């Protein structure tokens, strides 16, 4: 993992109101500040929090000075325009974001987003100066048909614009069937997909694992050679659980 600093990102999805969002952010911020003090126990990873868009203005200030980065959960490809209900990468940047999650399975399957649409969003994120976290992953049927690697490779090829670099793109492998189900692939399955992604991306690209990451399985997953961190869903809504996962980075 030389040269690839680990990243643990929390995807809050559509959860949280202002009061509990601010409380969660403050709790994480206090932990991060304490860890960075002399005599503290520094984390072996960067931390990123991606709350709903409605909470960015609340969570951002609550994280100020903690070193924890702020990210969005999606963005439109265009800079501005008549796109009711959407948010641009420039708006995320203006709200203090440094990252944005794109191509999550809940967007691909729940909203019908295609590889070309996701590719355009990545370009939009780069235009605004954001780091894109590009999500890829197979369904249970695709895995059982022996097509997991082919599906992920196809998503990477279709969703990654030319000019991808480790400084502007992070890849997150999230098997669709493992998200929010409590199920996880075997260590060998995760290692196989991460190695396949590594072979197809520029040297130094960080690859996160997502899909029911929790305090009990984080250490085993994060110990795998090509796993550079985690994209955490439900466990990121509890400060202690999220912190325990981050600690598992070493």
**10 and 68 in contact (C-beta within 8 Å)?**
no
- What does the DSSP assignment read for 170-196? EEEE--GGGTTTS----HHHHHHHHHH
Going 74 to 90 to 169 to 72, the CA torsion angle's sign is negative
| The token pair that represents 84 in the structure block | 């009711």
- 168 burial level (CB within 10 Å; 0-12, 13-18, 19+): middle
C-alpha angle 125-129-131 in degrees, rounded to nearest 5? 60
Instruction: For 49-64, give one letter per residue: b (16+ CB within 10 A) or e.
Output: bbbbbebbebbbebbe
Task: Work out the percent of the chain whose per-residue pLDDT is above 70.
Answer: 99
Structure token digits, residue 21? 């969002």
pLDDT tens for residues 115-132? 999 999 999 999 999 999
H or E element at residue 7? strand 7-11
Q: Does the pLDDT at position 3 exceed 70?
A: no
Gap between the Cα atoms of 133 and 7, Å rounded: 11
For each of the domains in the chain, give its residue range(s) and CATH number, in order of start: 7-247 (3.20.20.70)
Residue-wise pLDDT tens digits, 154-211: 999 999 999 999 999 999 999 998 888 888 799 999 999 999 999 999 999 999 999 8
Catalytic residues: 104, 174
What's the residue count for the chain?
A: 250
- Predicted confidence (pLDDT) per residue in 61-98, tens digit: 999 999 999 999 999 999 999 999 999 999 999 999 99
Rounded to the nearest 5°, which phi and psi values hold at 124? -65, -40
* CA separation for the pair 16, 238 (Å, rounded): 11
pTM exceeds cut of 0.85: yes
């Amino acid at each position: 993992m030389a040269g690839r600093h680990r990243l643990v990102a929390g995807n809050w999805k559509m959860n949280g109101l202002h009061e509990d969002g601010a409380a969660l952010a403050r709790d994480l911020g206090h932990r991060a500040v304490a860890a960075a003090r002399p005599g503290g126990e520094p984390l072996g990873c960067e931390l990123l929090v991606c709350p709903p868009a409605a909470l960015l203005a609340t969570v951002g200030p609550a994280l100020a000075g903690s070193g924890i980065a702020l990210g969005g959960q999606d963005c439109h490809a265009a800079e501005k325009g008549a796109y009711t209900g959407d948010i641009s990468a420039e708006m995320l940047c203006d709200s203090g974001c440094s990252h944005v999650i794109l191509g999550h399975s809940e967007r691909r399957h729940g909203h019908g987003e295609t590889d070309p649409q996701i590719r355009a969003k990545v370009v939009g994120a780069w235009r605004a100066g954001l780091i894109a976290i590009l999500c890829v992953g197979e369904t249970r049927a695709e895995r059982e048909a022996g097509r997991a690697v082919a599906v992920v490779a196809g998503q990477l090829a279709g969703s990654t614009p030319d000019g991808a670099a480790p400084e502007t793109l992070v890849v997150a492998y999230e098997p669709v069937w493992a998200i929010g189900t409590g199920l996880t692939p075997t260590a060998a399955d995760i290692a196989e997909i991460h190695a396949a992604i590594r072979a197809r991306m520029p040297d130094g690209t960080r690859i996160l694992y997502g899909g029911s990451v929790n305090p009990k399985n984080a250490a085993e997953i994060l110990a795998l050679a090509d796993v550079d961190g985690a994209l955490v869903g439900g466990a990121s809504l509890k400060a202690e659980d999220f912190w325990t996962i981050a600690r598992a980075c070493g």
